[in-house]
Homo-oligomer: A and B are copies of this chain.
């Protein structure tokens, strides 16, 4: 699509690769960025191993306008994201005194010891810009075009809300859909012809399982682009193709 910016996402954590936890962050990041004209072009999921994080960060930050990482910035032995990001940039992981003081005051107020382990949360790569929010004491941060966030979804969302104001925006990406009771194979030729007429539009075709909670129809066509008129026109053409083939279809509003 024209005039959109690109992003890579790096999800860090053994638990995501072992199936212990299903990621709940990527979809939220992607939708939040698309509203601002930034498209996620690639996502990698890596374990809590420094060499893996370094390789992935360096690959992604060279390819995309922005990189967003989640996970590994807590206080435990497997929280090695800041060390790894520092290594990727060839800088030291250093104490952020202002963050240190905030956490220290917060824990003192609760009567909890500020352990050496917890102090790790006050470290970030040399040169990083802390991105504070009202709602989280430990901030996310930026180094060059890489934004580092927590893995816990509630905290990640707070950090992302603080980050988006700092981003350049592209032309916003919109989408609409057509639901239809047709096999993909039967409409594929018509769909390809419509796609070819609209090279700036992305048409995706998603067959639904019988137990789909998303649609009672057999397939959903998702139409994405930056021009609302062209999205609408494309949906009408897909709907018409369904009518021509004699099958049920709807264009849900909104």
**Contact between B15 and A19, CB atoms less than 8 A apart:** no
Shortest A223–chain B CB gap in Å is 11
Against B, the Cβ 8 Å flags (1 = close, 0 = not) of A29-52 are 111001000011111111110001
Chain B residues closer than 8 Å to A52, beta-carbon distance? 41-42
Chain B residues closer than 8 Å to A23, beta-carbon distance? 22-23, 26
**Contact between A77 and B17, CB atoms less than 8 A apart:** no
Q: Out of B78, B117, B202, which one reaches A185, CB within 8 Å? A: B117
**Contact between A183 and B152, CB atoms less than 8 A apart:** no
**Contact between A117 and B189, CB atoms less than 8 A apart:** yes
Assess whether A153 is interfacial by the CB under 8 Å rule. Answer: yes
**Contact between A209 and B153, CB atoms less than 8 A apart:** yes
Are A44 and B47 also in contact (CB < 8 A) when A23-B23, A184-B74, A192-B76 are?
Answer: no
Q: Out of B16, B152, B186, which one reaches A209, CB within 8 Å? A: B152
Chain B residues closer than 8 Å to A47, beta-carbon distance? 41-42
A-side interface size class = 35 or more
Chain B residues closer than 8 Å to A78, beta-carbon distance? 203-205
Assess whether A224 is interfacial by the CB under 8 Å rule. Answer: yes
Are A204 and B20 also in contact (CB < 8 A) when A77-B192, A152-B209, A189-B115 are?
Answer: yes
A interface list, Cβ under 8 A from B: 13-24, 26-31, 34, 39-48, 52, 74-78, 107, 112-118, 120-121, 152-154, 175, 183-186, 188-189, 191-192, 195, 202-207, 209-211, 222, 224
